């Protein structure tokens, strides 16, 4: 698996497995085990997903040395702020069964995320995390965070797929060498992603599926992808994107699919702010 270098020198796999909405613990554990056996080394979870413990069990059962893995988790809105972030981080380490994280992220740009960032800077300084970053931070909040603190985020994990390519945000990220990380790289199947004519035609040239074309496009754009699946065949298929290269013409075709707006999560929307603040989980 290809890796990319973060702005603090850490090497990060360019593709991993996401476990959002995989709430069944046994299913989550089996999916992670399948991914690790396939060759994935990046696993992306979060406190609010409720499956950190299952991820940790899979990691231990895999027999793969911890230093060869890249584990990512996130602090949710209800734990925003310095003290609560510190407590949430300790609980994440306990559930994952590890003594450090490779990447720790602020999950949403809501609440006291400045307090959370101060805590995360200290965790970074103490060596308890190798890199810190954010999720769903659009240009205004991202710049605010950068200008308010000493450490620049290493990653911004956002909705990013052919229909929402985040070009303006990625321009700002490039200025600070922040790596984009794509959640929902398949747009959750919206806009007929898996049968899309342009993506299907491109894939037919290489004997690849539209999903594989999307993952290859992200790879060539320098974007980390964390496709989610609980099906062994799909997990393996998603990993098989190292044996072909999209042409410049293919890349142009995919760039033309950009609608310029979110399909899944409208972060600045007041309704989304209320909805996401209302999501609470037991700790």
Q: pLDDT of 200-220, one tens digit each?
A: 999 999 999 999 999 999 999
d(CA 108, CA 95): 21
Q: Is 49 a catalytic residue?
A: yes
Output the CA–CA distances (angstroms, integers) from residue 35 to 4, 263, 276, in the order listed: 20, 27, 29
Assign domain 14-277 one CATH number from 3.30.565.10, 3.40.50.150, 2.40.30.10, 3.20.20.100.
Answer: 3.20.20.100
Determine the pLDDT at residue 1: 73
Q: For residue 90, is pLDDT > 80?
A: yes
pLDDT in tens, 143-156: 999 999 999 999 99
What's the farthest any 2 CA atoms get from each other in the chain?
A: 53
Output the CA–CA distances (angstroms, integers) from residue 230 to 23, 37, 169, 174, 217, in the order listed: 11, 14, 30, 33, 23
Read off the pLDDT band of 115 (50, 70, 90): very high
Taking residue 209's Cβ as centre, other Cβ atoms within 10 Å add up to: 19
Which residues have a Cβ under 8 Å from the Cβ of 217 and sit 6 or more positions away?
Answer: 162, 246, 250, 251, 254
d(CA 186, CA 214): 7
Is the pTM higher than 0.85? The answer reads: yes
Share of the chain above pLDDT 90, in %: 98
pLDDT in tens, 222-239: 999 999 999 999 999 999
């Amino acid at each position: 698996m290809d890796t990319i270098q973060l702005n603090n020198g850490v090497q990060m796999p360019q593709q991993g497995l996401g476990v959002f909405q995989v709430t069944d613990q046994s299913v989550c554990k089996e999916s992670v085990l399948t991914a690790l056996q396939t060759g994935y080394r990046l696993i992306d979870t979060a406190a609010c997903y409720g499956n950190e413990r299952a991820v940790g069990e899979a990691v231990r059962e895999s027999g793969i040395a911890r230093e060869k893995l890249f584990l990512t988790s996130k602090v949710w809105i209800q734990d925003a702020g310095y003290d609560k972030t510190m407590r949430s981080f300790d609980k994440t380490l306990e559930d994952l069964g590890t003594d450090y994280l490779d990447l720790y992220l602020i999950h949403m740009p809501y609440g006291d995320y400045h307090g959370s960032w101060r805590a995360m800077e200290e965790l970074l300084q103490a060596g308890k995390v190798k890199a810190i970053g954010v999720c769903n931070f659009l240009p205004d909040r991202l710049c605010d965070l950068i200008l308010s603190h000493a450490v620049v985020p290493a990653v911004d994990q956002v909705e990013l797929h052919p229909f929402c390519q985040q070009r303006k945000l990625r321009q700002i990220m490039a200025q600070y060498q922040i790596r984009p990380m794509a959640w929902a790289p398949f747009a959750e199947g919206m806009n007929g992603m898996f049968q899309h004519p342009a993506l299907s035609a491109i894939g037919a040239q290489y004997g690849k599926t539209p999903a594989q074309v999307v993952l290859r496009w992200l790879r060539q754009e320098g974007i980390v992808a964390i496709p989610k699946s609980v099906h062994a065949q799909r997990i393996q298929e998603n990993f098989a994107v190292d044996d072909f290269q999209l042409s410049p013409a293919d890349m142009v075709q995919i760039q033309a699919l950009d609608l310029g707006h979110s399909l899944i999560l409208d972060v600045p929307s007041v309704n989304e702010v209320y909805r996401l603040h209302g999501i609470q989980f037991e700790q």
